[in-house]
Every structure is written in structure tokens, then in C-alpha cells.
Amino acid sequence: MELLSNSISARPDHPINLRLAFADTKSDFYFTSTLRNRKDSNTLAVFPFLKQFQSYQTIPKSIRTPKYQTNQSTSHKHDSNLTSFGEDASLYRRILPFDTDLEGLVADFQRLSINGIVLSTDFARGGYTTDELKLISKRLRSSSIDRGLPLIRHDFITHPIQIAEASLNGACAVVLIAAACLLDLDELLTSAMLMNVECIVECHDLIEVECALNAGATVVLLTNHDRVNGIVKTHDHALNLRQVVPDWIITLASGGIQSASQCWNYLDEDFDGVFLGESLLMSPNQSRFVDEIKSQKRQSTSMFFQNMGFDPNAQKNQVMLSQDEQGEDDDVGFDEHDAQVEIHKSYEKRFEKSEHDESNGNAMGDDEIGEEDLVGLVQEDEDREEKNVE
């Protein structure tokens, strides 16, 4: 990075310097919008993680020497490097053959139901460089307007120059490994925003997640890969970290994911997507593997209402409770009506026994009672009760 910075410092008109000096006139959030507006939004998004080989621990410093900068192809450079380290060569396992047609591989992935491409441009740990990033970008673009699938650069990014380099080579997003750039995370996020490049912050522990959220990250990659110690933990590690990430944050998972059932576990915990490297690249039937992952769907409707603070089950219980209360009110009303009927019948009986009607000549039928007479009887009872009280 220091060498690149020094080489372009003497050229103010260098494309990287121009990219750094001027803010982009638009912010389309291409990665986020593509991920949220995809047709299969109720399934887990799948991102192939392209790299030629897998490293299993921190690479010795001796691997980063000028002797790798030769005119040979990237794959042959990698093979000669592995054999030159003797015992250290056992720390790597080849994933893709050295003569893999990268454009053909990307074309095959485009025919699958994937949602983007992730390329490791860390040559010492993945075997590819920004040259391959530019190559894939051209392959993904169907026209000057349609950018195709999102292209993501994965590397140990510690300087805004690397973000500008990714943008110039066609990447719409970069992965910021929190363990490598935690102190500079705020600056990198701001620089990326000015260059219209989205950042996916890779986090391995709670401290990194909290720092990423406090810095304003809107996309986090919860990984099972401990890059400090060079080990891969179980897939439950990322599931546990998910509990501290707000629901409105786009959450991805990576590191040691081997099967579709593990991907379904991430889907159940409301992850938005997964980065699949070795398990997908070395799968004998990649199409079937992707289809199996996407065969499981999340209940998006209920999750939407729950995230908005609406619990359908609680509402259903509330409706049932309201119906029960209404039924109780109906029962109370029915009892009051019966009591009034009984009172009315008692007054009728008293009226029938009264000789008052016969003397006035306005006798009613045996089964009827006049309204004025009934009021008079009620008034007599009330006067009698008042006298008793006195």
C-alpha cells in the first residue's frame, strides 16, 4: 500500500487520485437496493466467494516479498510460491485449478440463482488481484446501463486508496475486515460513501460488532473465521452474534458454511445472505446446491409485522378476549331484562288483586295493565320505603 501511495503521489491526474479528490455526484446504493429488491427476497441470498486456494492460518511475513511481482500468470505465481515454502505449503488447499477459466466460471454462476459475486483480491490468501476484479466486472455488465450482479471486493483494506481502486475496477461494494481496520473504520466508511461504494463490515466478536454499528455500518458480515488466530469456528458463532444486531441492518454470514441445512439455520435467525467459498466452488452440482438453499423460505409477512411492533398472535388473542367480554355483557343485559320482566309480572299480580279498577269502571283485562296504574303502584312502593327510612 505504501508503494502504491508513493507511486501515484507524483501524478495528481492519476485515476485513483481523481477518484479520491472528487465526491461522486450520486449515491445509488447498488448493492443494498439489489439485495432488498430481488425477486426471491423471501429466501437467503447466495454470494459465491471466489478464490483459488484456502489458507488455514496467518501467512508468514516472508510471503509478501517483491519476488512475487513477476510477469507470470497469477495462478503460476501462486503455485511456485507454495512449493518454495516447503512445510508452509501444507497450510493451503487448492480450491480452483490453476487453469480455471474465470470468465466461464462467472458465466456459469450467472445462470444460477445467485445474488452477487465476491472476489478475494488478496493474492497471498486467495490467488487473485484487482486485474481479475476488472475482468469479472466487464463480464457481469450486460450494457453500459445495466451493471448486472453486484461485485464485491474482499481484501485487507486499510486505506481509502484501496476503495478507490475497487471502484475503478467495477466493484460496487468492499468488505472491511474490522480486525484489520478497526481504528480507521470511521474514515474508511466516510471515504467509501463519498465514492459511492458500499461497505460490508466483517465482524468476528462482540467488540467488532459494536464498533461497526457505532461507526454507522448498515451492512455487517458476521463471520465464523477468526482471522487473528487463523481458525474457523462452528457456524453457531455467527448465530450468537446475530442477537446484538438490529433487524434493520443487513446481516450476512460467512466462514465454514458447508451445507444447506446450516444456511437454513441462518435464514431462521433472519440473516439476509451467506458468502459461500469452498463448499460451493468445490460442489459437484453447484446448481442443485444453490437451489436447495433457496428452497427454504422465510415467513416474510409475519416477520414484517413483528418488526413493525405488531404481533399477529397477540392481536388474535385480543380479538378472542373482546368477544368473550362482549358475550359477558350480553349475559348481563339478558339478566337485567329478566329481572325487569319479573318485576312487571309482580305488579300485574298486585293490580289484579286491587279493587281500584272496578270502582273506576276502567277495568283492564286479566292479562293486561295500564301504564298510568303501573306508575302509580311504583310510586306507592317508593313512598312506603321513604316512610320506613324516616
User: Across-strand partners of 198?
Assistant: 173
pLDDT tens profile 52-95:
887 655 444 443 333 333 333 333 444 444 433 334 555 677 88
Buried b (16+ CB within 10 A) or exposed e, 138-166: ebbeeeeeebbbbbbbbbbbebbbbbbbb
**pLDDT of the residue at 291:** 95
Supply 371's cell numbers.
301504564
Structure-model confidence comparison of residues 159 and 89, the more confident one:
159
**pLDDT of the residue at 62:** 41
pLDDT tens profile 326-383:
555 555 444 555 666 666 566 566 656 555 555 555 444 444 445 555 556 666 767 7
User: Across-strand partners of 202?
Assistant: 177, 221
What average pLDDT does the segment 208-236 reach?
Answer: 90
pLDDT band at 261; cut points 50, 70, 90: very high
Q: Which domains does the chain have, with CATH numbers?
A: 1-54+91-295 (3.20.20.70)
Amino acid 135 reads L
pTM score, whole prediction: 0.70
The owner of cell 484501496 is 162
**pLDDT of the residue at 11:** 79
| Strand positions, DSSP E, the chain | 45-50, 53-55, 92-94, 117-120, 151-154, 173-177, 198-203, 219-223, 225-226, 231-232, 250-254, 273-276
311 has a pLDDT exceeding 60: no
172 has a pLDDT exceeding 60: yes
C-beta of residue 31 within 8 angstroms of C-beta of residue 219: yes
